[in-house]
Structure 1
Amino acid sequence: MAETETKHHPEHHDEDVHDANYQAPPEKTIEEIMAADQEDESLRRYKEALLGAAQTEKIIVDPNDPRKVIVKKLALVVEGRDDMELDLTGDLSQLKKQLFVIKEGVQYKVRIDFIVQREIVHGLKYVQKTSRLGVTVDKMKHMVGSYPPKKEIQFYLTPAEEAPSGTLSRGTYSVHSVFTDDDKHIHLEWDWTFEIKKDWA
């Protein structure tokens, strides 16, 4: 979904994704950021380290994609097991058919892989709403942060969550995910499913 669009999924209220009272700072280009505070040597060095090659060249990873943020992959990370991954670059409507199985009670993290190109992106957020049988059972909102453009994939790893446990918790869950930012640009939103089982099998 193009980053200029601000359409929201019908399941999501705007306040679920964005803080109503928060006012985002004005967007600045890399040139404007580098030009500010030149007299502060330590700040200048910090910005140079942060921005790297983006100071001297316009970093465009995919010239056919006008977005600043290209979300590539979601992964469920469980210690001691291979990551379970969703490819977010194809037909998103097919993702619900790819069922993740999670053992009840395990600790897991969500990792989002993404590319930032063209300009710095400010205040990235990952918002996730989990439902079961049409009822919302969990909402999470993670502040991902601000990122400079880079040719390499960047990622965000959520803090550990504990999967539900017990007989009543087992079953299939629907998840609606949104990757957005301070300026209410929806970089990507997608639906996926997982199933809580007594064991991994």
Structure 2
Amino acid sequence: MSQQDNDDLTPTMTDGYKPGEKKELSELQQMDANDESLNKWKASLGLSADKLPFPNDQRSVIISALIMDAGERKVVMDVSTPEKIAELKNKTIVIKEGVDYSFEVEFYVQRDVVSGLKFLQVVKRMGIPMDKTENMCGSFGPKLEKQSKRFPTTTAPTGRVARGTYSVRSKFVDDDNNCHLEWAWTMKIKEDWE
């Protein structure tokens, strides 16, 4: 991977924004331990290190799927394991030109709080960047339940020039510059779905 490829998926930094100091989950649980209302609020957040949907998986953020929703058609990209990601490399996702679509991510958070989770995506055609997306997911505490975030709708380009194959790189990163998942896949814009 070239330096240019790495730069494509570097999150932008907001002037003046400085992420807070990273605190372990145990530290957060001990803060203001004598404040009854604050303790109730923290309990309602589900901040518990023992909430492990996947106890044998050491990751703190487990991205299970990226879903492309175009209304009439949904495409689920299973990215839960390296094997599933490898399968995606051999599959081309077809998008009908001019269709409105959005992405939704499904994920689990365990072991620790993740702050400022972001979704980054770069779309290239013949090595030339065509689109770069950066969407904030938010900050999340550990939960047994799957969590999700839907991103804004976009429109696929239209016309003969727009039709063709595009290489896509997607990445999930947080405020502490931890990369939780990065993978490459291919999409093809066609006149129709097939």
Number of the residue aligned with 1:90: 82
> Take 1:15 and 1:112, find their aligned partners in 2: how far apart are those partners?
17
What TM-score does the superposition give when structure 2 sets the normalisation length? 0.86
Number of the residue aligned with 1:101: 94
Number of the residue aligned with 2:64: 72
- SS for the counterpart of 1:32 is helix
Determine which of 137, 151, 156 is the counterpart of 2:144.
151
> Take 1:108 and 1:186, find their aligned partners in 2: how far apart are those partners?
25
Q: Which blocks of at least 5 consecutive residues in structure 1 are unaligned?
A: 1-6
Number of the residue aligned with 2:24: 29
Distance 1:80 1:15, change over 3 A: closer
Cα RMSD (Å): 2.5
Number of the residue aligned with 2:43: 48
Matches within 5 A, 1:130-149: 130-149=123-142
What TM-score does the superposition give when structure 1 sets the normalisation length? 0.83
Deviations along 1:165-188, one digit per CA (max 9) or x if unpaired, are 111111111100010100000111
> Take 1:9 and 1:145, find their aligned partners in 2: how far apart are those partners?
27
Number of the residue aligned with 2:154: 161
- SS for the counterpart of 1:169 is coil
Cα offset, 1:63, TM superposition: 2.5
Cα offset, 1:68, TM superposition: 0.4
Could you tell which deviates more after superposition, 151-160 or 184-193?
A: 151-160
> Take 1:9 and 1:35, find their aligned partners in 2: how far apart are those partners?
42
Paired AA for residue 85 in structure 1:
V
Q: Which blocks of at least 5 consecutive residues in structure 2 are unaligned?
A: none
Number of the residue aligned with 1:190: 183
Number of the residue aligned with 2:6: 12
Conserved 8 A contact 1:18-1:184: no
Identity %: 38
Paired AA for residue 160 in structure 2:
T
Conserved 8 A contact 1:180-1:187: yes
Distance 1:94 1:106, change over 3 A: same
Deviations along 1:130-153, one digit per CA (max 9) or x if unpaired, are 000110000010111101111121
> Take 2:92 and 2:140, find their aligned partners in 1: how far apart are those partners?
31
> Take 1:48 and 1:164, find their aligned partners in 2: how far apart are those partners?
46
Distance 1:48 1:143, change over 3 A: same
Cα offset, 1:64, TM superposition: 2.4
Distance 1:31 1:61, change over 3 A: same
